Amino acid sequence: MTEHEATTPAHSASFHPHITPLKVYILVGATLFLLTGVTVWVAQFHLGTVGNLIVAMTVATIKATLVALFFMHLLYDNKLYLVVFLSALLFLSIFISMTMMDTMRRDDLFRYEEMPAAIGTSLTLEEPTSPEEAAATDKTGSEPAETPANP
């Protein structure tokens, strides 16, 4: 740092970056190694598909947070970079959760077969329980459902 100040010309003299202590890097590295061991070890136990997924993702997120805060300097840097990074995660979570809401619940629509007035005809046609029943729902369901759908 003394050398830095001595040779620095006038207008770059204000540039003093934060230098992370060596101890911090070693500790973070050791924690990351340890957590890798933990996640492999925990995976041997069967906590149910969702349980294992939650544990694995929690450990991965702790590791990712350590990498982002210390190795990528987000803890010490201008918080603008943190906002940029978190905004990406926000939009990624919107993207994935919207997709999952669709693909996970798509089949549930067929439960509304019992309420023909609330739903369009195309759905009852896709999965008819029996030809007569389908024809019945078609007749009763099509007209009231069609009118609100296409005003």
Partner 1 sequence: MSSKTDSTVVHADRHEEHNPNLAHHFFTMEQQHESLKLGVWLFLVTEILLFGGLFCVYAVYRNWHPDMFIAAHKFLDVKMGAINTLVLIGSSVTMALAIRSLQKNRPDQTVLLLIVTILCAFVFLVIKYFEYSHKIHLGLLPGKFFSNTEVMGSNPQLFFSAYFAMTGLHGLHIIIGMGFLSFLLYQTMNGKYSSEYYSPVEMGGLYWHLVDLIWIYLFPLLYLIG
Which chain residues interact with partner 1 by CB under 8 A? 1, 3-4, 7-12, 14-15, 17, 19-20, 22, 25-26, 28-29, 32-33, 36, 39-40, 43, 46, 48-49, 52-53, 56-57, 59-60, 63-64, 67-68, 70-72, 77-78, 80-81, 84-85, 87-89, 91-92, 95-96, 99-100, 103-104
Q: How far is the CB of 119 from partner 1 (least distance, A)?
A: 24
CB-nearer residue toward partner 1: 19 or 147: 19
CA distance 26 to 16: 23
CB-nearer residue toward partner 1: 17 or 151: 17
Q: How far is the CB of 121 from partner 1 (least distance, A)?
A: 27
